[in-house]
């Protein structure tokens, strides 16, 4: 911890001893309500060298844009695919060709956000993947914004479509589609998921002390249902908002000092306390949000330029040898490097301990000029101790931190480079990206399938060969 954080923690402990405040997330006397993975059967280490699996240099310019040159895989297989651009039952023509980015999951519905790319506008697409072999588009939302993330509320009633476009005062709204390139959040009623109903657009953010909002960006968004209220966590600004029961308004209830990029909100696997975990400088901040209107900073992982943790953070749902485990990773857009992931012990959020690190075998790096985070770590989540992650042009990777030994030295499980051709699967137009594939993130569902969206080619459902699915 930094000196300031250490002083904060000492002060909090003093108050606890004095009985002035209720115990927060460092109350380790509670028994864990989740399973422990120690002793579980794991996928074995690779039986081949994967250090040259990802090609950094094809020997000529522009070759990274050719999907046919990027078809590698190991222990991961394609289960289902949807190009998202079929003329019938596909995406709305207004948002075709707009680059598929982040995915969030509610039950077996996936919402894929559209980052306004070559020829497109932005928006969101909802896919039903109940049958993982046949993912089906059920709704398309052309919201005209620079899409960052679309997020279902935990109760499944509402869909929050977030944007981090620049502030555009004076630009007329386009009705349900919202403001062109505007910041903020559009809320939809998805009680009938095939027909999302626009409710309102909100641009609550940080002001300059007057009436002008200067930051209402939502590059990432967190939601959690606490005591019957859906709370919304806005990155960059650090604002916490409460969504009205009818979904028609948001009210700011609190603000946190740190909210650099991604957020994770949920229960601590040992104490069962509600927690907010988010970026803080080069590191990661841990907040108690049992009362979301009064968040309490408990501690930070400081990180450094080698082992950053400011960008993405996701815990294991289970404990490992009695410890709560968190995976964190940074991002350095502007280079073509692959970056390391760090395993943290966050059993006691007042005392974060670094355990181990994992990186794509061979540490691939594109050295051509003009790189845009080409093989950086990006979005990931966890299932049964495994981590599925998207690494832009390096594709989808899975590694394991599900045993005490593997928290210290995580084991590579497998990888997959998305390379489908939309036109061969009923898809219409789309333009290959400069790096194809380009995977924003990879995400486990509750059964152990891995979901990913390639910037250019669409939606993928994958599975790890030999992994027992739930």
pLDDT digits (tens, 9 = 90+) for 126-168: 999 999 999 999 998 877 677 788 999 999 999 998 887 644 4
Task: State residue 140's pLDDT score.
Answer: 86
Pick from 57-61, 231-235, 317-321 the range whose average pLDDT is largest. Answer: 317-321
* Contacts for 395 with CB less than 8 Å, ≥ 6 apart: 54, 70, 72, 415, 416, 417, 418, 437, 439
Are 280 and 270 in contact by the 8 Å Cβ rule? The answer is no
Does the pTM exceed 0.85? yes
The confidence band for 90, taking pLDDT boundaries of 50, 70 and 90, is low
Could you tell me the residue range of the domain that residue 40 belongs to?
Answer: 3-464
452: in domain? yes
Per the structure, how many domains does the chain have? 1
* Contacts for 180 with CB less than 8 Å, ≥ 6 apart: 144, 145, 165, 168, 171, 174
CATH of the domain at 267: 2.130.10.10
Which tens digits make up the pLDDT trace of 33-70?
A: 689 999 999 999 999 999 999 999 999 988 999 999 99
2 pLDDT more than 80? no
Task: State residue 370's pLDDT score.
Answer: 82
278: in domain? yes
Tokens of 142: 């052309």
201: in domain? yes
Pick from 164, 3, 67: nearest CA to 417: 67
Between 261 and 465, residue with greater pLDDT? 465
470: in domain? no
469: in domain? no
| Rounded mean pLDDT, 283-309 | 96
Cα–Cα distances in angstroms (integers) from residue 36 to residues 32, 45, 163, 346, 385, in the given order: 9, 21, 38, 15, 10
CA 227 to chain centre: 24
Task: State residue 88's pLDDT score.
Answer: 59
275: in domain? yes
* Contacts for 31 with CB less than 8 Å, ≥ 6 apart: none
Per the prediction, the chain carries an average pLDDT of 85
Pick from 323, 316, 158: nearest CA to 231: 158
Pick from 76, 54, 45, 69: nearest CA to 362: 54
């Amino acid at each position: 911890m930094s000196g300031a954080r250490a002083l904060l923690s000492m002060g909090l402990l003093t108050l606890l001893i004095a009985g002035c405040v209720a115990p927060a997330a460092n109350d380790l006397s509670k028994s864990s309500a989740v399973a422990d993975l120690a002793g579980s059967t794991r996928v074995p280490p690779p039986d081949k060298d994967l250090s040259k699996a990802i090609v950094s240099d094809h020997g000529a310019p522009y070759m990274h844009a050719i999907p046919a040159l990027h078809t590698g895989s190991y222990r991961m297989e394609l289960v289902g695919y949807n190009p998202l651009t079929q003329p019938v039952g596909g995406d709305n023509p207004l948002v075709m060709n707009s680059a598929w980015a982040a995915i969030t999951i509610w039950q077996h519905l996936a919402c894929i956000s559209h980052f306004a790319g070559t020829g497109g506008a932005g928006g969101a697409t909802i896919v039903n993947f109940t049958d993982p072999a046949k993912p089906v588009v059920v709704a398309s939302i052309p919201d005209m914004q620079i899409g960052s993330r679309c997020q279902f509320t935990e109760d499944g009633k509402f869909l929050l479509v977030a944007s981090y476009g620049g502030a555009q005062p004076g630009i007329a709204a386009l009705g349900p589609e919202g403001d062109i390139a505007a910041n903020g959040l559009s809320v939809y009623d998805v009680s009938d998921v095939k027909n999302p109903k626009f409710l309102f657009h909100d641009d609550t953010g940080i002001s300059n002390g007057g009436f002008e909002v200067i930051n209402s960006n939502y590059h990432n968004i967190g939601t959690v249902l606490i005591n019957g209220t859906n709370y919304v966590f806005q990155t960059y600004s650090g604002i916490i908002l409460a969504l009205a029961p009818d979904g028609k308004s948001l009210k700011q209830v609190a603000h946190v000092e740190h909210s650099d990029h991604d957020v994770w909100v949920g229960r601590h696997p040992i104490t069962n306390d509600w927690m907010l975990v988010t970026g803080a400088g080069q590191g990661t901040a841990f907040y108690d949000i049992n009362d979301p209107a009064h968040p309490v900073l408990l501690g930070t992982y400081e990180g450094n330029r080698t082992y950053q943790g400011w960008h993405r953070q996701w815990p294991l749902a289970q404990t490992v040898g009695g410890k709560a485990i968190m995976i964190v990773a940074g991002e350095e857009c502007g280079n073509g490097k692959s970056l390391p992931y760090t395993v943290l012990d966050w059993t006691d959020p007042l005392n974060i301990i670094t355990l181990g690190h994992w990186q794509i075998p061979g540490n691939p790096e594109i050295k051509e000029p003009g790189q845009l985070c080409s093989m950086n770590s990006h979005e990931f989540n966890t299932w049964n101790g495994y981590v599925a992650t998207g690494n832009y042009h390096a594709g989808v990777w899975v590694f394991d931190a599900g045993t005490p030994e593997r928290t210290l030295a995580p084991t590579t499980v497998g990888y997959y480079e998305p390379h489908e051709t939309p036109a061969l699967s009923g898809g219409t137009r789309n333009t290959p990206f400069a790096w194809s594939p380009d995977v924003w993130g990879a995400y486990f569902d509750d059964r152990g399938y891995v979901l990913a969206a390639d910037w250019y080619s669409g939606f993928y459902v994958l599975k790890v060969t030999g992994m027992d699915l739930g």
